[in-house]
Amino acid sequence: MNNTIEIRGLTRRYGKLEAVNGLNLSVRAGCCYGFFGRNGAGKTTTIKCLLNLLRPTAGTVRVFGLDPQKNEVAVKSRLAYVPDAVAFYPWMTVRDTLEYFASFRTHWNRDIETDLLARFGLTAAQKASTLSRGQKTQLALITAICPEPELLVLDEPTSGLDPIVRREFIETVIGAYQSGDPENRTVFVSTHLISEFEGLIDQFTIIEQGCELLTMEADHARDRFKKIRARFAQTPPPLRLPCALRVTLNGREAEILANGNSEQLIAELESLRPEEVRCESLSLEEIFVASRILTPSVQ
């Protein structure tokens, strides 16, 4: 098994509530994997099962080919995790916190630590309790990157942060983390701020009500799902385009969603002599928003 993460038929119940229901997912090494879903879709539950913070009700989870329940230390020593809300011991300073985290690791890159402290403008002597939310996330990112783990698990890392901190966060993941040993640097990120991670994502899964809705390569998805806008001289008659995913008419303008057949749809539209036809890809965020319309036609 060469995949960094391999999830088969994962189910996790809280009492009667099925948070995750038969989820399958594979993340290859060196890939940046996006895990998208609405609030309550089961993202955090899945991530907690990866980290053995929760036991699956059914199904198997493998990280580096190992079972996180049986080989907890072996798995955890090779990954790092940044949760959405980070908490540090309030009495520790930034320096204390870094030493504390480093004491659990066999490897700690001091150069990266110095670089990132300077980049984020964090003062080593400052108490963790006085850090702002953005600074706490920055500190958490430093503790995650300095051990240079093979897998970086990010759970809603940028929610609640200001745009500059979010930008720095992503640049740090790309720069300080990913470029060290790119073949062996895997990122698994759950987020609903998809547009910010758009350039980073190689592959993604959209999860809804604990089930996988759509899994695709990002480039392939953008190639396949397109938005065609056509403007006509007069309000056109109702457009009969059976192979379109969705047709929205708005006065003289029509918006058509295409699933891999944009050329055919454009040809059909051309026969109606529109004034203008434009075609663009859906962004990952638009794919996420429209995923319920998009998916029946994929399977």
- Name 63's bridge partners: 5, 66
Residue 271 found at the interface with other proteins (CB under 8 A):
no
Nearer to other proteins, 96 or 202 (CB): 202
Report d(CA 153, CA 51) in Å as an integer: 9
Coil, strand or helix at 111: helix
Find the binder of other proteins among 95, 281, 290, 298 (CB under 8 A). Answer: 281
- The amino acid sitting at 150 is E
- Provide the pairing of β-strand 79-82 with 151-155: parallel
**282 forms part of the interface with other proteins (CB under 8 A):** yes
Residue 179 is a binding residue for other proteins (CB under 8 A): yes
Of 11 and 184, the one with the shorter C-beta distance to other proteins is: 184
Q: Which is nearer to other proteins, 22 or 260 (CB)?
A: 260
Which one, 236 or 274, has the nearer CB to other proteins?
Answer: 274
Degrees to nearest 5, angle at CA 83 with 117 and 99: 40
Tell me the C-alpha distance between 97 and 92, whole Å. Answer: 6
Q: Tell me if 263 contacts other proteins by CB under 8 A.
A: no
* Residue 170 interacting with other proteins (CB under 8 A): yes
Q: How far is CA 155 from the centre of its chain?
A: 8
CA torsion, points 183, 77, 160, 169, in degrees to nearest 10? -40
- Asked if residue 206 binds other proteins (CB under 8 A), the reply is no
Query: Using CA atoms, how far apart are residues 165 and 138, in angstroms rounded to an integer?
Result: 8
- Exactly one of 99, 162, 181, 223 binds other proteins (CB under 8 A); that residue is 223
> Least CB distance from residue 135 to other proteins, whole Å?
21
Segment interacting with other proteins (CB under 8 A) among 68-76, 125-133, 236-244, 276-284:
276-284
Helix (H, G, I), strand (E, B) or coil at 113: helix
Does position 72 bind other proteins by CB under 8 A? no
Shortest distance, CB of residue 181 to other proteins, whole angstroms?
11
- Are 11 and 57 in contact by the 8 Å Cβ rule? The answer is yes
Minimum CB distance to other proteins, residue 219 (Å): 4
Please, what is the minimum distance in Å from the beta carbon of residue 240 to other proteins?
22
Q: Does 182 bind other proteins (CB under 8 A)?
A: yes
Our finding on whether 5 is near other proteins (CB under 8 A) is no
273: left (phi over 0), alpha (psi -120 to 50) or beta: left
Q: How many CB atoms lie within 10 A of CB 69?
A: 12
Q: Can residue 50 be called a binding residue for other proteins (CB under 8 A)?
A: no
- Sole window of 67-75, 86-94, 103-111, 175-183 interacting with other proteins (rule: CB under 8 A): 175-183
Rounded to an integer, what distance in angstroms lies between the CA atom of residue 72 and that of residue 298?
Answer: 37
Cβ proximity to other proteins: between 136 and 224 the closer is: 224
In DSSP terms, which residues pair with 34 in a beta bridge?
189, 204
Q: What is the spatial distance between Cα 115 and Cα 119, in angstroms, rounded to a whole number?
A: 6
Give me the residue label for tokens 């958490």.
140
162 binds other proteins (CB under 8 A): no
Task: Give contact residues for other proteins (rule: CB under 8 A).
Answer: 30, 32, 167, 170-171, 174-175, 178-179, 182, 196, 198-202, 219, 222-223, 226, 270, 279-284
